[in-house]
Structure 1
Amino acid sequence: MKDLFEKLDSYLDYINMTVMTVMMAVATLLAFINVVLRYVFGTSLTWAGELTSYLFIWSALFGSAYGFKIGLHIGVTAIIQSIKPKIAKYILSLSLIVIFIYLLLIVKWGYDFVMFNYELEQVSIDLQLPFWIIYLCVPISMSIAAYQVLLKIIKTIRIPADQFSYDMVMKEQH
């Protein structure tokens, strides 16, 4: 079972890093090309601004999901590291559960929003891309984030209270 989770985790890391990197690189390159076209040649790609925005959004949301894996988001470190391990474990567990529930709500809302846009059949102005495809980044990236938080919840619960340390849960080797 541990092998399955390790493979899934590795696969999700690959997806996150690939989407983040490719989307950010393409957005940056596209923005640069459009600036050069505008100021050097007096023309521009009409769809470049819209595509750049969507690429940055996808990159940011997948980056956010990866941030949950490596412990970038949950920032009660000073408080948790200054209290007794048993209380720290309880507080961190509670905060992770609240975050997990919140992420599940975002996944649900994101899915509903994708389906709503699918039914409307609306498309973006410049790219003529269906909005439901653009908005897919929300349920997908937040599902990955929720999975990462779930792993942290499980890890926190498994650590004996007297041995608990924030770093044991939040810091990932990457």
Structure 2
Amino acid sequence: MVANFTRQLEEGVLSFLLVFMTLLVFVEVVLRFGFNTGIHWAQEVTLHASAWFVLFGVSYGVKVGAHIGVDAVVRLLSPQTKRIVSIIAVLLCLVYCALILSGAWVYLAKVYKIGLFMEDTPTPGIFLWLIPEDLWWDVFKIDPEEPLLPMWFAHGPLLIGFILLAYRFIEVLKKLITGEWTDLHMADEAKEALEEAGIDTDIISEEEEAKHAKEGAK
């Protein structure tokens, strides 16, 4: 139930961001070319919303196996060797996540300490209504005189996105170590193309496994 809720939450957030960006750009185009006006914060919000979409989507891509992998050499390896290579690849990905998370934490801490704001985007009114005014600056770094959206909030998904990505890689690592998976389960464009052409790729996979088994026996 928890896994299903998490999946629905991720898909809901990604769907909302995609629909929100599309509608915002559509409205901005209509206002600009139809009425010679516009929303002054639309470009900035669209840019950050697209960044949020990428940062949340990259971990979801690992979960569903949507990322494209360069595995021309890996496919030539035996299942056991392929699993070892995949484990090394995941460990390197986790190192990368750790480096980005470390830098993101330092960056966000400095932005929060300095108290930087977005150039055009105001803080949503619902936030100002829910947060007591005496906490605007001391806790959330919102300027009472000009309540623009704090930059630490707008750039916060940089940290959240890579935490989710690291979590997904840990899940993949667990499956590789336990033997549940023998590779990273990346998207296979060649396989999809063959299936669209009506070629049964499962038969090809079985032939490859039989070939590796014979070579191992020798």
TM-score band (shorter)? 0.7 to 0.9
Residue 170 of structure 1, aligned match among 185, 188, 202: 185
Instruction: In structure 2, give the amino acid aligned to 1:76.
Output: V
For structure 1, list consecutive stretches of 5 or more residues without a partner in the other structure: 1-5
C-alpha contact 1:152 1:170 (8 A) present in aligned 2: no
* Equivalent residue, structure 1, for 2:212: none
TM-score, normalised to structure 1, is 0.84
* Equivalent residue, structure 2, for 1:156: 176
Percent sequence identity over matched residues?
26
Q: Deviations over 1:106-127 (max 9, x none)?
A: 1222122211111111101101
Instruction: In structure 1, give the amino acid aligned to 2:82.
Output: A
The answer to whether residue 150 in structure 2 is matched with residue 133 in structure 1 is: no
Superposed counterparts of 1:78-89, under 5 Å = 78-89=72-83
For structure 2, list consecutive stretches of 5 or more residues without a partner in the other structure: 122-147, 188-218
C-alpha contact 2:116 2:150 (8 A) present in aligned 1: yes
Aligned-pair CA distance for 1:171? 6.5
Cα RMSD (Å): 2.0
Instruction: In structure 1, give the amino acid aligned to 2:161.
Output: S
After superposing the two structures, state which structure 1 stretch, 35-44 or 9-18, moved more: 9-18
Give the Cα–Cα distance (whole angstroms) in 2 for the partners of residues 55 and 66 of structure 1: 16
Structure with greater proportional strand content? 2
Aligned-pair CA distance for 1:74? 5.9
The structure having more radius of gyration, on CA atoms, is 2
- SS of structure 2 residue aligned to 1:125: strand
C-alpha contact 2:65 2:185 (8 A) present in aligned 1: yes
* Equivalent residue, structure 1, for 2:55: 61
CA distance 1:74–1:145, change in 2 (3 Å): farther
TM-score, normalised to structure 2, is 0.68
C-alpha contact 1:103 1:142 (8 A) present in aligned 2: yes
C-alpha contact 2:18 2:53 (8 A) present in aligned 1: yes
Structure with greater proportional helix content? 1
Instruction: In structure 1, give the amino acid aligned to 2:185.
Output: M
C-alpha contact 2:25 2:46 (8 A) present in aligned 1: yes
* Equivalent residue, structure 1, for 2:203: none
Aligned-pair CA distance for 1:10? 3.7
Aligned-pair CA distance for 1:35? 0.4
Q: Deviations over 1:56-107 (max 9, x none)?
A: 1101111111111122336133322221112111111000100011112212
Give the Cα–Cα distance (whole angstroms) in 1 for the partners of residues 164 and 50 of structure 2: 18
Instruction: In structure 2, give the amino acid aligned to 1:70.
Output: V
Aligned-pair CA distance for 1:54? 0.8
Structure 1: 4+ residue segments shifted above 4 A: none
Give the Cα–Cα distance (whole angstroms) in 1 for the partners of residues 186 and 48 of structure 2: 30
Give the Cα–Cα distance (whole angstroms) in 1 for the partners of residues 103 and 5 of structure 2: 25
